[in-house]
Amino acid sequence: MGKLDEKVAVITAGTSGMALATAKLFVEEGAYVFITGRDKNRLDRAVREIGRNVAGVQGDASVLTDLDRLYDVVKGEKRRIDILFASAGDSELEPIGSVTEAGFDRIFNLNVRGTLFTVQKALPIFNDGGAIILNGSIAGQKGIPGFGAYSASKAAVRSFARTWLVELKDRNIRVNVLSPGTIDTPILDRFSPEVKESFRKAIPRGQMGRPEEIATAALFLASGDSSFVNGIELFVDGGTAQI
C-alpha cells in the first residue's frame, strides 16, 4: 500500500530537479501524476524517466490558456485532482539598482500570477479533502542581497496560503507552502561558482539539499500523514531560515 494510492496529482514544471523527484516519489507511492513543462523534449524525457502512471502536458504556468489546456487534459483522462503541487517558479539575481521592468514582470508573472491561476483553474475539478502545495522559498523570509523581486514574489505565495485555506475550508482542502533552501539542482548553473559557494556556506549543515529531500517533504504534505497540517510554511533548508 502506498501513501497516495488511487490519487491523481498535478505537478507544474515537473521536468527536472525538485519537482521531477517529487513526481517520481508520488508515482512510487501509488499516484497517477500529470507533469508540465515548457520544453517538449525535456517533458518527454521526464515522462520516460518516471516510466509509468504519468502524463506530460506541455505548457507555461504563466500562460492562462496553457493552464486551461492542462486541466482539460486532466479532466478528460482522470476527471479529478486530489493533489496539486504548484511548483513552477524562477529566480533572478538583480540588485535593486539593476532591476528592470521586464525582469520584474517575468518573476511576478510566473511566481505570483502563475501560482494564483494554477490553483484557481484547478478548483472546479479538485476533490474535496485534497491537498494543495505551493512552492515557496526561504527567500520569502530572509533578506538576501540581489533577490528583492524574487523574495517578494515568494512572500506573496506565502500570503496566498493563509487566505486560501480559509476560503477553501468548507471543502476541506488543505493549502501548505513548501519552502526549500538551496537545493543542488540544474537551476543553480546560472550562478557563478562564487555565488553558489556563498549559498552553501549559509547552510548550517554545510551542504546543499538534494531534490529527494524536497520530494519526501512534499509527500508528507500531500498524504494523510499531514491531515491536521494546514496553512504552514514548511522550511526544508538545513536550518538556513532559522538563523
Query: Which of 150, 164, 220, 235 does the annotation list as catalytic?
Result: 150
Residue 53 burial (CB < 10 Å; 0-12/13-18/19+)?
A: middle
Distance CA 54, CA 48 (A): 9
Rg of the chain on CA atoms, in Å:
17
Any idea how long the chain is? Answer: 243
Cell 513543462 sits at which residue? 37
Sign of dihedral through CA atoms 234, 26, 64, 188? positive
Residue 84 has a CB neighbour count (10 Å cut-off) of 26
Known catalytic membership, residue 71: no
Alpha-carbon distance values, 172 to 46, 125, 176, 227 (Å): 32, 14, 13, 10
List residues with catalytic annotation. Answer: 150
